[in-house]
Structure 1
Amino acid sequence: MHFEEINIDQTHIRLSTDLKEHNLSRYILSIRNDLKRYISQNRDFLLSLEPLKYDSDNLSPIVLKMYESSEKADVGPMACVAGTISEMSLDYLINKDSTYSIVENGGDIAIINDRKVLCGIYSNNEILGNNIAFEIKARNRPLGICTSSGKIGHSISFGSSDSVTVLSKSPSLADGLATRIANDVTGPDSESKVSNALETCENFKEFFEGVLIISDENVGSIGKLPKIVESKDFNI
């Protein structure tokens, strides 16, 4: 197994892969340049907190993917940027015949794994701590695992969750959905916050496999989640 860190401007990738040679950094630089060129001519794409209308003609793949995911998740396009880069990076590696690759981009993960892995759930929750993980069985198709928080990190969130983690076939969409659902972790108490967010999840059930919401002393889930285990030894 080969481990590598790829840092290009705001993109910080931690990569684990079965490929000895892949040139992923060159590919990421290319799609980032496509995105930067588009943003330089379309400032609304960078600043909007809501989906934007778009014409799919002549859009680069990264820009089109962000538009499509943001439309489904009901968020601005940039809410999907980290997950989109993870997804496209994983697709690139799969096209080179990888059967085991984990691309983690600032907490937004794209994975294909031909063996079991443990994915840590980092919420800084006072009760659960950071010693729990998803036990992800071997699978031959991609999975996105993306997290948003109202308390951790620099991303914009209008809620106050410790963490909202979304699992979806599309990491790009999982990133947007994590933001959208986390925005609704609001209410007078922890139970209400989780309940309100679960109601929001109902509107997006067709797009995810499962969602885990952690807020103070309450935890909520919907859909199908991997087994949650206690562990200090994570693959991710």
Structure 2
Amino acid sequence: MRRFRFQYKETIVTILTENEEFYKTAVKAILEARSEIEDYILHNPDFFTSYEPIECSGGEIINRMCNAAKIAGVGPMAAVAGTIAAYAVEKMIDAGAKLAVVDNGGDIVMHSDRELLVGIYPSKLAFKVPPVDYLAICTSSGKIGHSVSFGKADAATVVARDASIADALATALGNLIGDFGKKELEKTVSEFYGKYSDFVEGILVVKDELVALAGNLPSLAFAESKEDLITKG
């Protein structure tokens, strides 16, 4: 397994794969996806600024983001990182990669032939993910990162089979987390999962010393965060 880092404008990614050729495939896909998004924003500025779903008609990337936004009740840019990561992983799979993991600033999409440990920053929790054909683990935070969140979660994580939806729903979930006690946090997580269980495998929220979860999540483990492994600017 090789680890690569790539940055272009706001996109900062970590890529795990077997060799440099698959890495190059991922980079090409990321640039293609960004080009489609940037071109659409140029002609449709509301796509970039809206915090609510909007009507839009574009290419594959744009349509994925808009569909996810409608499901989650957020703006389409809430799905941007997960969508770009998913597109890169799909192209790597098409090229023959057995290991294709793209972490786009905490929104992770993976296709893996081995078990992987995925940390939930800034907690000491991690998912032990067995070999998997395709899975998205997307996280929103009200305390870390440059993405907009109206909530106060350390981490609001959604695990799903569709990365665009996982990313948009992570934003929606994070927006709901206030200065909650244990019961209110658990109630919010339970109700959110009940509402979106058709779209997600499971959800997990970390708020200060509290943890609430629902659904079918990978096994949890304890892991110390390593700053050099965290994808951030």
> TM-score with structure 2 length normalisation?
0.90
CA distance, structure 1, for counterparts of residue 115 and residue 53 of structure 2:
36
Contact 1:82 1:105 in 2 (8 A): yes
Contact 1:164 1:214 in 2 (8 A): yes
Root-mean-square deviation (CA, aligned residues, Å) is 1.8
Matched, 1:205 2:197: yes
Residue identity opposite 2:4 in structure 1: E
Match for residue 192 of structure 1?
184
Match for residue 135 of structure 1?
128
Q: Closer, same or farther in 2 for the Cα pair 1:172/1:230, shift >3 Å?
A: same
Q: Closer, same or farther in 2 for the Cα pair 1:191/1:216, shift >3 Å?
A: farther
> TM-score with structure 1 length normalisation?
0.89
Please, which of 35, 55, 71 is the counterpart of residue 53 of structure 1?
Answer: 55
CA distance, structure 1, for counterparts of residue 67 and residue 225 of structure 2:
36
CA distance, structure 2, for counterparts of residue 50 and residue 223 of structure 1:
26
Residue identity opposite 1:183 in structure 2: N
Contact 2:30 2:85 in 1 (8 A): no
Identity of aligned residues (%): 35
Residue identity opposite 1:53 in structure 2: E
Contact 2:189 2:203 in 1 (8 A): no
Match for residue 18 of structure 2?
18
CA distance, structure 2, for counterparts of residue 229 and residue 198 of structure 1:
22
Matched, 1:154 2:143: no
- Following TM superposition, the consecutive aligned residue runs of length 4 or more in structure 1 with deviations greater than 4 angstroms are 233-236
Residue identity opposite 2:101 in structure 1: I
Match for residue 40 of structure 1?
42
CA distance, structure 2, for counterparts of residue 83 and residue 72 of structure 1:
15
Greater share of helix residues, 1 or 2? Answer: 2
Q: Which runs of 5+ in 2 are unaligned?
A: none
CA distance, structure 2, for counterparts of residue 231 and residue 33 of structure 1:
37
Q: Which runs of 5+ in 1 are unaligned?
A: 124-129
Aligned pairs (5 A) from 1:1-236? 1-22=1-22, 23=24, 24-55=26-57, 59-123=58-122, 130-139=123-132, 141-186=133-178, 189-232=181-224
Shift of 1:187: 5.1
Aligned residues: 226
Contact 2:159 2:202 in 1 (8 A): yes
